Amino acid sequence: MVAASERLSAMATDTHFGFRQVPLDEKQGLVDEVFHKVARRYDLMNDLMSAGLHRAWKDAMLTAVNPPKSDRPFSLIDVAGGTGDIAMRVVAAGGTKTTATVVDPNTDMLAVGRERATAQAYDHAVTFVEGNAEALPFPDGAFDAYTIAFGIRNVPRIEVALKEAYRVLRPGGHFVCLEFSTVDVPGLEALYDLYSFNLIPAIGRAVTGDAEAYRYLVESIRKFPKPEAFATMIRAAGFGRVAHQSLTGNIVALHSGWRL
């Protein structure tokens, strides 16, 4: 029989992968598998699943980042940057000295990103680096802004990633995070559940041949802390002027904090 103390210590080192409880050290491998499977169809799936809405959500993130239009140097780190969508938008909106570094542990997502950056002539300003949000391979204070879009819920130790975000930002640097939230609009809630638990895995199966990967994505959204709880975690990492804004009936939340 397992003693209560052993059960408690096992729970402390467990986390969730979608609705499954898994040992903390196994989550990253499982997440990596999901994104290896979907990398080639990832951008198409984003458009299909969100009916193009992810573009509007990313526009809201871009407005928050607000890269300078002048020739002032501005460096962005886009963590969990995947195929480079946010990085390329920021570089396109900023002045000639705006640069972006995409960090992601998944080499397949990065490969798609590099191809896109070359095809769209952004490779002079966007760099792709293999790395993990929990241990960023950069010195303290290296960046003006840190973005993470639909990425933080995949990270096993979120509080470690938030501390890393704080560390790599210069004083005055801006942390901006886009993440799915909890739909709490009566009526929309039931419709959203029906759509996400039934239609999204079916679209995933049709487009990528993999329903499971998309089931994980939907389940992981439900396990992510509510915006107020996540804002508390951002504050605990040291950020000030922490705020969040809900988008599209709370489907998504845009979080912001400053390294003061």
Ligand X SMILES: C[S@@+](CC[C@H](N)C(=O)[O-])C[C@H]1O[C@@H](n2cnc3c(N)ncnc32)[C@H](O)[C@@H]1O
Mask 101-120, x = binds ligand X (CB under 6 A)? ---xxx--x-----------
The tokens of 17 are what?
A: 């992968």
Nearest to 25 by CA among 35, 40, 39, 12: 12
Contact with ligand X (CB under 6 A): which of 101, 154, 208, 256? 154
Q: Pick the closer one to ligand X by CB: 6 or 26.
A: 26
**Cβ of residue 44: shortest distance to ligand X, in angstroms?**
12
Specify whether the CB–CB gap between 226 and 253 falls below 8 A. Answer: no
Span of 143-151, 165-173, 200-208, 242-250 interacting with ligand X by CB under 6 A: 143-151
Instruction: Compute the radius of gyration of the chain from its Cα atoms.
Output: 18
CB nearer to ligand X: pick between 48 and 97: 48
Burial class from Cβ neighbours inside 10 Å (0-12, 13-18, 19+) for residue 128 reads: buried
SS3 category, 230: helix
Q: Nearest approach, Cβ of 186 to ligand X (angstroms)?
A: 28
Phi, psi torsion values for 52, nearest 5 degrees = 80, -5
Q: Does 85 bind ligand X (CB under 6 A)?
A: yes
| Sequence letter at residue 227 | P
Q: Which helix (H) or strand (E) holds 253?
A: strand 252-258
Size of the site for ligand X (CB under 6 A): 21
CB of 124 to ligand X, least distance (A): 21
Among 151, 201, 227, 257, binds ligand X (CB under 6 A): 151
Rank residues 93 and 97 by Cβ distance to ligand X and give the closer one.
Answer: 93
Smallest distance, Å, CB 7 to ligand X? 27
Please state, in angstroms and as integers, the Cα–Cα distance from residue 126 to each residue in 84, 110, 205, following that order.
Answer: 8, 12, 32
Binding segment toward ligand X, per CB under 6 A, in 11-19, 69-77, 132-140, 244-252: 132-140
CA nearest to 128, candidates 144, 142, 112: 112
Cα gap 101→45, rounded to integer Å: 24
Using the rule CB under 6 A, give the single segment among 62-70, 144-152, 229-237, 239-247 that binds ligand X. 144-152
Binds ligand X by CB under 6 A, chosen from 99, 132, 196, 250: 132
With tokens 């499971």, the residue in question is 212
Residue carrying structure tokens 């509080």: 159
**β-strands 169-180, 252-258: how paired?**
antiparallel
Of 24-53, binders to ligand X (CB under 6 A) are 28, 31, 35
In the range 180-239, which residues lie near ligand X by CB under 6 A?
none
Q: Which is nearer to ligand X, 145 or 155 (CB)?
A: 155
Under the rule (CB under 6 A), what is the footprint of ligand X?
A: 28, 31, 35, 79-82, 85-86, 104-106, 109, 132-134, 149-151, 154-155
